[in-house]
Amino acid sequence: MKNRQTAASDLEVRSLKTPAELEAFFRLNAEIFRPDEDADLVSAQRRRFLMDDPDFYLHQLRGAFLGDTYVGGYALLERTMCLGPARLRTACINGVATHPAYRHQGIATTLMQDAIRVAESQRYALLFLHGLAYFYQQFGYIDVLEDTPRHIFARKQLPESNPGTYFVRAATLTDAPALLACYQRHYSPYLGSFAPTRTLQRQEHVLSNWFEVTDTVPLVVLNAEQELYGYLLLSRRRRKLYVYEVAADTWPATLALLHAHAQLLEAEPEPPQEMSWPLPPTDPTFYFLAEHMPVRSEMLSFPNGGWMARIVHTPTLLQSLLPLWQKYWQERSRLVDWCGTLALTIDAYTSFLEVTPTSIHPIRTPSSSPLHVTLSSNMFVQLIFGFRPISWAQLQPGQQLPAELIPALNVLFPLSQAWIAGSDFF
């Protein structure tokens, strides 16, 4: 189809209003992101996944219109991201799409500028997305965690199963409370997690309405007393079966899920010789695997792509981070004994933090001469996710980090493990 020329000034970006606009939104989403699948099925499934979410509001679906013609859109979903005890109101960008006939005319740029305006008007702490490489950095986004590491193992090297100890079956809605508890046990500790704030209602929704068209069902593993000890969430993409989330509390439960997964792969038209699970490298499930069988771990890094974030409203972000910094400071080594006033400048915004032996709290006016820390917004975002250490920030141009503050800054910005569980993908 020949591209139709338009000007960005002719575009109107607004919330969707009519059934026809909703149909156009989900249809285009299906055609762009799942071109090799049935567009009707994908569109219907995606619509259920977004609109049946207990936290969904229609104004979260935004469209670009040229007159009455829908030419692109995106979703701006509100989530509460967790960094330890900190709770960050986060606007999550989903499904940015431009109609093929209107590409390369600035529509995606206009959509992203709209997302920033909407987020700023709501004073979110962060904007967060999973995006294509080398597009979103122009809007202030920076990498904050690597794409999901996968751990790969050969089917023929699985240890023998131990029948009778644990058994695997399809999950039902009655499993939702136990499944939610298991998910939170495994995924709450990581920076960037959405696990601590997931509700039972949302767990039931995720269990029933995964966004990909699939012939698979979630699996749970139970002991002889019918207690849930793990789960396996599978889907299908490009006609291939894959695991998008897994957790297990014991090695026997892990082994039972491994064999259940292997049996499903054996039934595929072309059974793969290798299996893979996405897991944080510090999760007990990974340790169970590594203790009992050969595992090859693979991490893909995409500069300026994948999971990215940007600051929206700096005062909101700093206020939200205080519980995390307080936790870090109270748990620090007593060898770190700096106290005083810290002037933290992020781009053009400066705030003052009073640091005592037992607490960190904001103040309006410093009572003593402060030490100045200057960070770009991108560097600051990477630090709070634990994605880069303070030693890396020291090497970057334009960052000001006084030498006497480095031990304290290492406490407040430790190198850490961030993780987005597969069922939290948006």
Domains of the chain: 8-145 (3.40.630.30), 150-298 (3.40.630.30), 314-412 (3.30.1050.10)
pLDDT digits (tens, 9 = 90+) for 256-314: 999 999 999 999 999 999 999 999 999 999 999 999 999 999 988 889 999 999 999 99
- Residue 81's DSSP bridge partners are 88
Q: Which residues of 343-377 are buried (b: 16+ CB within 10 A; e: fewer)?
A: ebebeeeebbbbbeeeebeeeeeeeeebbebbbbb
Share of the chain above pLDDT 70, in %: 97
pLDDT (mean) for 349-360? 97
Question: In this structure, what DSSP letter does residue 44 have?
Answer: H
How far is Cα 279 from Cα 185, in angstroms, rounded to an integer? 14
264 burial level (CB within 10 Å; 0-12, 13-18, 19+): middle
pLDDT digits (tens, 9 = 90+) for 142-153: 999 988 789 999
pLDDT (mean) for 77-82? 98
Chain centroid to CA 157: 32
pLDDT digits (tens, 9 = 90+) for 165-221: 899 999 999 999 999 999 999 999 999 999 999 999 999 999 988 766 567 889 999
How far is Cα 370 from Cα 363, in angstroms, rounded to an integer? 12
- Record the tokens describing residue 360, joined without a space: 């960190």
- Backbone region of residue 352 per phi and psi (left: phi > 0; alpha: psi in -120 to 50; beta: other values): beta
- Record the tokens describing residue 274, joined without a space: 């290798």
- Record the tokens describing residue 148, joined without a space: 């999901």
Q: Residue 410: helix, strand or coil by DSSP?
A: helix
Q: In the prediction, which pLDDT does 238 show?
A: 79
User: CA-based Rg of the chain, rounded to a whole angstrom?
Assistant: 23
Helical ranges in 103-250 per DSSP H: 107-122, 176-187, 200-208
- Residue 126's DSSP bridge partners are 90, 311
**CA 399, 402, 406, 412 torsion-angle sign:** negative
Q: In the prediction, which pLDDT does 83 show?
A: 98
Per-chain mean pLDDT for the chain: 94
Question: In this structure, what DSSP letter does residue 216 have?
Answer: -
How far is Cα 11 from Cα 328, in angstroms, rounded to an integer? 47
- Backbone region of residue 38 per phi and psi (left: phi > 0; alpha: psi in -120 to 50; beta: other values): beta
- Give the DSSP H or E segment for 241: strand 240-248
Q: Are 360 and 326 in contact (CB under 8 A)?
A: yes
How far is Cα 21 from Cα 139, in angstroms, rounded to an integer? 27
List all residues 6 or more positions away from 421 whose beta carbon is below 8 Å from its beta carbon: 183, 187, 193, 194, 195, 245
Is the pLDDT at 5 greater than 60? The verdict is: no
How far is Cα 160 from Cα 269, in angstroms, rounded to an integer? 24
pLDDT band at 8 (very low <50, low <70, confident <90, very high): low
- Give the DSSP H or E segment for 332: none
Q: In the prediction, which pLDDT does 285 show?
A: 98
Q: In the prediction, which pLDDT does 1 show?
A: 47
Q: Are 192 and 418 in contact (CB under 8 A)?
A: yes
- Record the tokens describing residue 85, joined without a space: 């005890």
